[in-house]
Protein backbone atom coordinates (compact mmCIF):
# COMPACT_ATOMS: atom_id res chain seq x y z
CA UNK A 1 0.00 0.00 0.00
CA UNK A 2 2.84 2.40 0.87
CA UNK A 3 6.23 2.13 -0.82
CA UNK A 4 9.30 4.09 -1.84
CA UNK A 5 10.89 7.10 -0.20
CA UNK A 6 8.87 8.27 2.78
CA UNK A 7 10.19 11.22 4.76
CA UNK A 8 9.87 11.36 8.54
CA UNK A 9 9.47 15.11 8.20
CA UNK A 10 10.77 17.46 10.89
CA UNK A 11 8.50 19.90 12.70
CA UNK A 12 10.03 23.38 12.28
CA UNK A 13 9.71 25.73 15.25
CA UNK A 14 10.07 29.50 15.41
CA UNK A 15 9.93 31.43 18.67
CA UNK A 16 8.53 28.42 20.47
CA UNK A 17 5.69 27.74 18.03
CA UNK A 18 5.24 25.46 15.02
CA UNK A 19 6.51 27.35 11.94
CA UNK A 20 3.79 26.54 9.41
CA UNK A 21 5.41 28.59 6.66
CA UNK A 22 8.61 26.56 6.91
CA UNK A 23 6.67 23.31 7.17
CA UNK A 24 4.70 24.16 4.05
CA UNK A 25 7.90 25.00 2.18
CA UNK A 26 9.45 21.68 3.26
CA UNK A 27 6.41 19.77 2.01
CA UNK A 28 6.69 21.47 -1.40
CA UNK A 29 10.43 20.71 -1.45
CA UNK A 30 9.69 17.02 -0.93
CA UNK A 31 6.92 16.73 -3.47
CA UNK A 32 9.03 18.46 -6.13
CA UNK A 33 11.99 16.20 -5.28
CA UNK A 34 10.08 12.95 -5.71
CA UNK A 35 9.31 11.93 -2.12
CA UNK A 36 6.58 9.29 -2.24
CA UNK A 37 4.97 9.69 1.20
CA UNK A 38 5.02 12.46 3.85
CA UNK A 39 5.10 11.26 7.48
CA UNK A 40 4.44 14.06 10.01
CA UNK A 41 4.54 13.78 13.81
CA UNK A 42 6.95 10.89 14.07
CA UNK A 43 10.05 10.75 16.25
CA UNK A 44 11.87 13.04 13.82
CA UNK A 45 8.90 15.42 14.04
CA UNK A 46 9.47 15.79 17.81
CA UNK A 47 6.02 14.37 18.51
CA UNK A 48 6.95 13.70 22.13
CA UNK A 49 6.99 17.43 22.88
CA UNK A 50 4.03 18.53 20.77
CA UNK A 51 0.84 19.33 22.63
CA UNK A 52 -2.27 17.49 21.43
CA UNK A 53 -3.44 20.71 19.83
CA UNK A 54 -0.13 21.14 18.00
CA UNK A 55 -0.08 17.48 16.96
CA UNK A 56 -3.57 17.77 15.50
CA UNK A 57 -2.70 20.98 13.71
CA UNK A 58 0.51 19.61 12.15
CA UNK A 59 -1.38 16.60 10.79
CA UNK A 60 -4.26 18.73 9.54
CA UNK A 61 -1.90 21.29 7.97
CA UNK A 62 0.17 18.59 6.28
CA UNK A 63 -2.88 16.87 4.78
CA UNK A 64 -4.25 20.19 3.52
CA UNK A 65 -0.91 21.32 2.05
CA UNK A 66 -0.18 17.98 0.37
CA UNK A 67 -3.68 18.11 -1.12
CA UNK A 68 -3.70 14.45 -2.21
CA UNK A 69 -0.55 14.78 -4.35
CA UNK A 70 1.14 12.04 -2.32
CA UNK A 71 -0.08 9.95 0.63
CA UNK A 72 0.22 11.27 4.18
CA UNK A 73 0.90 8.76 6.97
CA UNK A 74 0.54 10.52 10.32
CA UNK A 75 2.39 9.54 13.45
CA UNK A 76 -0.28 8.77 16.05
CA UNK A 77 1.31 6.37 18.54
CA UNK A 78 1.69 6.70 22.28
CA UNK A 79 2.43 4.56 25.33
CA UNK A 80 -1.26 4.90 26.23
CA UNK A 81 -3.78 2.94 24.20
CA UNK A 82 -6.50 5.53 24.82
CA UNK A 83 -4.22 8.36 23.70
CA UNK A 84 -3.20 6.36 20.62
CA UNK A 85 -6.88 5.94 19.78
CA UNK A 86 -7.53 9.67 20.14
CA UNK A 87 -4.61 10.65 17.92
CA UNK A 88 -5.50 7.98 15.36
CA UNK A 89 -9.15 9.03 15.18
CA UNK A 90 -8.09 12.62 14.63
CA UNK A 91 -5.65 11.68 11.86
CA UNK A 92 -8.44 9.77 10.12
CA UNK A 93 -10.82 12.70 10.51
CA UNK A 94 -8.17 15.08 9.13
CA UNK A 95 -7.87 12.97 5.97
CA UNK A 96 -4.57 11.14 6.49
CA UNK A 97 -4.10 8.10 4.26
CA UNK A 98 -2.65 6.03 7.09
CA UNK A 99 -1.16 6.19 10.56
CA UNK A 100 2.21 5.15 12.00
CA UNK A 101 1.86 3.62 15.48
CA UNK A 102 4.93 3.13 17.64
CA UNK A 103 5.10 0.31 20.16
CA UNK A 104 4.18 1.66 23.61
CA UNK A 105 7.31 2.94 25.32
CA UNK A 106 8.28 2.99 29.02
CA UNK A 107 5.39 0.69 30.03
CA UNK A 108 7.34 -2.31 28.63
CA UNK A 109 4.30 -4.42 27.66
CA UNK A 110 4.64 -8.13 26.96
CA UNK A 111 4.26 -9.49 23.43
CA UNK A 112 0.63 -10.26 24.30
CA UNK A 113 0.20 -6.69 25.54
CA UNK A 114 1.55 -5.37 22.25
CA UNK A 115 -0.85 -7.60 20.34
CA UNK A 116 -3.84 -6.46 22.39
CA UNK A 117 -2.84 -2.78 22.11
CA UNK A 118 -2.64 -2.75 18.33
CA UNK A 119 -5.66 -5.02 17.88
CA UNK A 120 -7.74 -2.65 20.04
CA UNK A 121 -6.72 0.40 18.02
CA UNK A 122 -7.17 -1.30 14.65
CA UNK A 123 -10.59 -2.60 15.63
CA UNK A 124 -11.79 0.88 16.60
CA UNK A 125 -10.78 2.82 13.47
CA UNK A 126 -11.02 2.32 9.73
CA UNK A 127 -7.67 3.59 8.49
CA UNK A 128 -4.54 1.71 7.30
CA UNK A 129 -2.06 1.19 10.14
CA UNK A 130 1.70 0.82 9.91
CA UNK A 131 3.27 -0.61 13.06
CA UNK A 132 6.56 0.92 14.23
CA UNK A 133 9.22 -1.17 15.95
CA UNK A 134 12.19 0.80 17.30
CA UNK A 135 13.64 -0.93 20.39
CA UNK A 136 16.43 1.64 20.69
CA UNK A 137 13.80 4.23 21.57
CA UNK A 138 11.20 2.15 23.38
CA UNK A 139 13.18 -0.68 25.07
CA UNK A 140 10.63 -3.14 23.59
CA UNK A 141 11.29 -5.33 20.55
CA UNK A 142 8.09 -6.48 18.84
CA UNK A 143 8.98 -9.96 17.63
CA UNK A 144 8.16 -11.31 14.16
CA UNK A 145 5.71 -13.85 15.61
CA UNK A 146 3.70 -11.03 17.21
CA UNK A 147 3.70 -9.03 13.97
CA UNK A 148 2.52 -12.15 12.12
CA UNK A 149 -0.48 -12.34 14.46
CA UNK A 150 -1.28 -8.67 13.88
CA UNK A 151 -0.84 -9.10 10.14
CA UNK A 152 -4.19 -10.96 10.21
CA UNK A 153 -5.99 -7.79 11.35
CA UNK A 154 -7.59 -6.28 8.25
CA UNK A 155 -6.29 -2.71 8.43
CA UNK A 156 -2.78 -3.42 9.77
CA UNK A 157 -0.94 -3.21 6.47
CA UNK A 158 2.76 -3.00 7.32
CA UNK A 159 5.55 -2.24 9.74
CA UNK A 160 8.37 0.26 10.00
CA UNK A 161 11.28 -1.91 11.18
CA UNK A 162 14.03 0.11 12.85
CA UNK A 163 16.04 -2.62 14.56
CA UNK A 164 18.67 -2.65 11.81
CA UNK A 165 18.62 -6.44 12.25
CA UNK A 166 18.29 -8.02 8.81
CA UNK A 167 17.91 -11.50 10.32
CA UNK A 168 14.82 -10.31 12.19
CA UNK A 169 13.51 -8.54 9.09
CA UNK A 170 14.02 -11.66 6.99
CA UNK A 171 12.05 -13.76 9.50
CA UNK A 172 9.36 -11.08 9.56
CA UNK A 173 8.92 -11.15 5.78
CA UNK A 174 8.94 -14.95 5.74
CA UNK A 175 6.16 -15.09 8.35
CA UNK A 176 4.05 -12.21 7.08
CA UNK A 177 4.34 -12.66 3.32
CA UNK A 178 5.33 -10.27 0.58
CA UNK A 179 1.97 -8.50 0.52
CA UNK A 180 2.63 -7.06 3.99
CA UNK A 181 4.58 -3.79 3.70
CA UNK A 182 7.94 -4.01 5.48
CA UNK A 183 9.47 -0.55 5.59
CA UNK A 184 12.95 0.39 6.75
CA UNK A 185 13.28 2.69 9.73
CA UNK A 186 17.06 2.47 9.62
CA UNK A 187 18.66 4.48 6.82
CA UNK A 188 21.90 2.48 6.98
CA UNK A 189 20.26 -0.83 6.04
CA UNK A 190 17.52 0.34 3.66
CA UNK A 191 19.04 -1.05 0.46
CA UNK A 192 19.78 -4.50 1.97
CA UNK A 193 16.23 -4.54 3.34
CA UNK A 194 14.88 -3.89 -0.16
CA UNK A 195 16.97 -6.79 -1.45
CA UNK A 196 15.23 -9.24 0.90
CA UNK A 197 11.71 -8.01 0.19
CA UNK A 198 11.19 -4.63 1.84
CA UNK A 199 9.24 -1.95 0.00
CA UNK A 200 10.43 1.42 1.27
CA UNK A 201 11.86 3.53 4.06
CA UNK A 202 10.56 6.12 6.46
CA UNK A 203 13.76 8.11 6.42
CA UNK A 204 15.52 10.77 8.45
CA UNK A 205 18.17 11.56 5.83
CA UNK A 206 15.50 12.12 3.17
CA UNK A 207 14.73 15.39 4.95
CA UNK A 208 17.86 16.96 3.46
CA UNK A 209 18.44 14.97 0.24
CA UNK A 210 14.98 13.91 -0.92
CA UNK A 211 15.89 13.62 -4.60
CA UNK A 212 18.76 11.18 -3.96
CA UNK A 213 16.70 9.20 -1.43
CA UNK A 214 13.85 8.85 -3.93
CA UNK A 215 16.33 8.17 -6.73
CA UNK A 216 17.71 5.11 -4.96
CA UNK A 217 14.24 3.58 -4.77
CA UNK A 218 13.44 4.46 -8.38
CA UNK A 219 16.67 2.80 -9.49
CA UNK A 220 16.12 -0.30 -7.37
CA UNK A 221 12.54 -0.83 -8.51
CA UNK A 222 13.64 -0.32 -12.13
CA UNK A 223 16.25 -3.07 -11.74
CA UNK A 224 19.18 -0.62 -11.97
CA UNK A 225 21.15 -2.06 -9.08
CA UNK A 226 24.45 -0.33 -9.87
CA UNK A 227 22.71 3.06 -9.82
CA UNK A 228 20.97 2.18 -6.55
CA UNK A 229 24.29 1.09 -5.02
CA UNK A 230 25.96 4.31 -6.16
CA UNK A 231 23.32 6.39 -4.38
CA UNK A 232 23.46 4.16 -1.30
CA UNK A 233 27.18 4.77 -0.89
CA UNK A 234 26.85 8.45 -1.77
CA UNK A 235 24.32 8.96 1.03
CA UNK A 236 26.03 6.75 3.62
CA UNK A 237 28.22 9.50 5.19
CA UNK A 238 25.12 11.63 5.74
CA UNK A 239 23.24 8.69 7.28
CA UNK A 240 26.02 8.43 9.86
CA UNK A 241 26.01 12.13 10.67
CA UNK A 242 22.22 12.25 11.08
CA UNK A 243 22.76 10.13 14.20
CA UNK A 244 25.96 11.69 15.55
CA UNK A 245 23.67 13.13 18.23
CA UNK A 246 20.09 12.28 19.14
CA UNK A 247 17.69 12.47 16.20
CA UNK A 248 16.34 15.00 15.14
CA UNK A 249 19.07 17.33 16.41
CA UNK A 250 21.48 16.74 13.47
CA UNK A 251 18.85 16.76 10.71
CA UNK A 252 17.26 19.98 11.97
CA UNK A 253 20.69 21.55 12.28
CA UNK A 254 21.46 20.50 8.70
CA UNK A 255 18.20 22.02 7.45
CA UNK A 256 19.06 25.22 9.32
CA UNK A 257 22.49 25.32 7.62
CA UNK A 258 20.63 24.88 4.32
CA UNK A 259 18.42 27.87 5.13
CA UNK A 260 15.19 25.87 5.20
CA UNK A 261 14.23 26.14 8.89
CA UNK A 262 15.27 27.90 12.08
CA UNK A 263 17.67 26.01 14.33
CA UNK A 264 15.16 25.50 17.12
CA UNK A 265 14.30 22.47 19.26
CA UNK A 266 12.02 21.64 22.14
CA UNK A 267 13.71 20.86 25.44
CA UNK A 268 15.03 18.42 26.50
CA UNK A 269 16.55 18.41 22.99
CA UNK A 270 19.10 21.17 22.50
CA UNK A 271 21.65 22.53 20.03
CA UNK A 272 24.48 20.33 18.75
CA UNK A 273 27.92 20.45 20.27
CA UNK A 274 30.19 22.80 18.30
CA UNK A 275 32.61 20.02 17.28
CA UNK A 276 29.77 17.95 15.83
CA UNK A 277 28.36 20.99 14.07
CA UNK A 278 31.66 21.45 12.27
CA UNK A 279 31.67 17.80 11.16
CA UNK A 280 28.12 18.19 9.88
CA UNK A 281 28.89 21.45 8.10
CA UNK A 282 31.87 19.89 6.32
CA UNK A 283 29.80 16.89 5.19
CA UNK A 284 27.04 19.14 3.87
CA UNK A 285 29.59 21.20 1.98
CA UNK A 286 31.27 18.10 0.55
CA UNK A 287 27.85 16.85 -0.61
CA UNK A 288 27.14 20.17 -2.31
CA UNK A 289 24.24 21.14 -0.07
CA UNK A 290 25.80 24.34 1.33
CA UNK A 291 28.51 26.72 0.18
CA UNK A 292 30.02 27.91 3.48
Looking at the annotation, which residues are catalytic? 132, 160
C-alpha 104/C-alpha 81 separation (Å) is: 8
Whether 58 and 50 have beta carbons less than 8 Å apart is answered as: yes
Question: Is residue 146 within 8 Å of residue 114, measured between CB atoms?
Answer: yes
Instruction: Give the Cα separation of 99 and 146 in Å (integer).
Output: 19
Q: DSSP characters for 36-65?
A: -EEE-SSTTTTGGGS-HHHHHHHHHHHHHH
Per-residue CA distances from 44 to 9, 71, 79, 112, 146 (Å): 6, 18, 17, 28, 26
> What is the rounded CA–CA span in Å between residue 105 and residue 137?
8
What is the CB neighbour count within 10 angstroms for residue 226? 7
Looking at residue 189, the DSSP 8-state letter turns out to be G
Amino acid sequence: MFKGSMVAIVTPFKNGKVDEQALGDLIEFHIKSGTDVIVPCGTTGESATLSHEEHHRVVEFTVKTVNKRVPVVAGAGSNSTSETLELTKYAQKAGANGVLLITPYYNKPTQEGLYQHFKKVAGTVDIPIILYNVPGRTSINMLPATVARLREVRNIVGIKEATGDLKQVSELIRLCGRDFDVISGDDFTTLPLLAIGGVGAISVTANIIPADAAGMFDAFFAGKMEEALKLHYKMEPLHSLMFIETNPIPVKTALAFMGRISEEFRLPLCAMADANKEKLKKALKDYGLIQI
